[in-house]
Chains A and B, each alone.
Chain A
Amino acid sequence: MTDLIVKTYIAYLPVAILLTFVVARIFFKNSKIFMLDIFSGREEIAMSTNKLFETGFYLLSLGFALFRMKINKSNFITIDFEMVEGVRTRIETLVYGKQELFEVLSSKVGVLAVVLGFMVFFLMYMLFRGKKKSAEGRDRKEELQRIQEI
């Protein structure tokens, strides 16, 4: 029984790590252009900010994936009462078969995927907000220059 729990962990870890890496690669490859826009073309600071956010994303999602890896075994324990030598004793058995393996694995991967999706949408919102803010700042600067010229 516990062998299958270890198998669940061994299946879950590569899936979680691979999912994180794929999502991060896709997102941060495409966010470079937004970063360049936000920092108005200053390439060094835009790229380093992008890299810093990528590191943070890896830390956060891998940390979440590992932190939530443990399977709550009390969900799979069935309790029976039996008469052993005239005494009523409580017998706990762990029922963890192949069906439970797939159910647990899919629920864990599903939660991770949903959390990653929310994180990606939050980061997209931040990128759009930063873009708007930097455009406003640039407009204000241009206006100031025009006033000074007059």
Chain B
Amino acid sequence: MNIFITYSIYLIIGALITVTVGADLYCNGYYLILNLFENEVVTQTINKLLLTGYYLLNIGYIALTLTQIDEVETTTVALEQLAYNIGRILLILSYLHFQNIALLAWLSKRKHILINQFN
């Protein structure tokens, strides 16, 4: 398979994953952060900053690992390389995602302790 076709498939799928997952996290993470700060302006700001950071991190990683796809003479190897690279992106994203949820849960637990201490 042509290397340019492989590259463009990789970039398109990577961008699609980034945008869909980012939109999902942006919409649903709002209530978790709102629960933490209880202030809508602060929540919107932090949510937007997180989204920007996420886009930068993910698109940067996709662009960095683009050159790891090589030797695409046959369709078999091209498919294998594509699946391996996209699978790795998904696994890293899921790790970051669960880490983020765990961090939010941890912080919300601290918040309750703080409120109990100060009241």
Chain A residues within CB distance 8 Å of chain B: 2, 5-6, 9, 13, 44-45, 47-49, 51-53, 55-56, 59-60, 62-71
Contact = CB atoms under 8 A, between A and B. Distances in A.
Nearest to A69: B83
Contacts of B52: none
A51 B76 CA distance: 35
B90 A52 contact: no
A63 B89 contact: yes
Contacts of B90: 59-60, 62-63, 66-67
Given A51-B24, A70-B83, A60 B91 contact: yes
Given A2-B74, A2-B76, A66-B83, A51 B28 contact: yes
Contacts of B40: none
A63 B86 CA distance: 7
B94 interface: yes
B87 A64 contact: yes
Q: Give the dominant DSSP class at B's interface.
A: helix
Interface string B58-77: 00000000000000001110
Nearest to A59: B94
B20 to A, nearest CB: 9
Contacts of A52: 24-25, 28-29, 32, 97, 101
Contacts of B84: 66-67, 69-70
Contacts of A69: 79-80, 83-84, 87
B37 interface: no
Contacts of A13: 83
A48 B101 CA distance: 11
Given A52-B101, A55-B24, A69-B80, A64 B29 contact: no
A33 B77 CA distance: 45
A63 B101 contact: no
Contacts of A66: 83-84, 86-87, 90
A56 B32 contact: no
Given A6-B75, A55-B21, A70-B80, A63 B91 contact: yes
Contact of B31 (A48, A59, A70): A48
